[in-house]
Amino acid sequence: MNTRVIHNKVFEPFIDEEEIKAKVKELGKQIENDNRDRNLLFISILNGSYVFTADLLREIDLDINVSFLKLASYEGLKSTGKVKRLIGLSDDLSGKTVIIVEDIVDTGKTLDQVIEDLRKQGAAEIRVVSLLIKPEVYRGSHEIDYKGFEIPNDFVIGYGLDFDGLGRNLRSIYRTRD
């Protein structure tokens, strides 16, 4: 894997396609085994989670529903600290086990906001799966039930994650350190 230059910034290879594939499979099987006989609704947080969601759900051999929620909390390399809900949720969540699908959890602000909204909508049980977690900066109030890779506080792109709109289509994950 070679380095990539996006918006004049150099990104170096970090997690390759095969490692991601193996991890996604493992997470899928874990979720499948833990959640049999539940009324399952996956809520994918757009935009970054679209690739992970597509791969993860195809590793789960259960009857499941999926919805998409769109938020934005990042501009460029630094979090703006503001979490905005852009697209609301119309599903009735009463009696459902909701599994939130995140590409990456950073400070946890986005996640806290999503969980609060889902609780208001009456979700019976809420679980979270995130492909990437930055434990050094995580300040959220909810335990991440299914963790993919714990990573340092570097900015990463690829596999759905972007830097100012670019990089989502990369098959592997890359990082920049400055």
Long-range (24+ apart) CB contacts under 8 A made by 169-175 are 170/4, 171/17, 172/1, 172/13, 172/14, 172/15, 172/16, 172/17, 172/20, 173/14, 173/15, 173/20, 173/132, 174/3, 174/4, 174/11, 174/12, 174/13, 174/14, 175/11, 175/12, 175/14, 175/151
Nearer to ligand IMP, 92 or 150 (CB): 150
Selected binder of ligand IMP within 28, 57, 110, 128 (CB under 6 A): 110
Residue of the chain from 155, 160, 170, 173 that contacts ligand IMP (CB under 6 A): 155
* DSSP-assigned states of every residue in 103-119: EEESSSHHHHHHHHHHH
Active site residue 106: yes
Is 109 a binder of ligand IMP (CB under 6 A)?
A: yes
Considering only 11-19, 29-37, 142-150, 151-159, which stretch makes contact with ligand IMP by CB under 6 A? 151-159
Where in 47-86 is the site for ligand IMP (CB under 6 A)? 48, 73-74, 79, 83
Determine, following the binding rule CB under 6 A, whether residue 172 of this chain makes contact with ligand IMP: no
- Applying CB under 6 A, which of residues 41, 69, 126, 161 lies at the interface with ligand IMP? 161
Lookup: tokens for 62 = 């259960």
d(CA 14, CA 1): 9
Question: What's the CA gap between 169 and 127, in Å, rounded?
Answer: 27
Q: Does residue 106 belong to the site contacting ligand IMP (CB under 6 A)?
A: yes
* Residue 104 or 115 having the CB closest to ligand IMP: 104
Active-site option among 16, 37, 106, 154: 106
Asked if 156 touches ligand IMP (CB under 6 A), the answer is: yes
Answer whether 146's CB lies under 8 Å from 174's CB: no
Binding site for ligand IMP (CB under 6 A): 48, 73-74, 79, 83, 102-111, 155-157, 161
Any idea which residues carry the catalytic annotation? 106
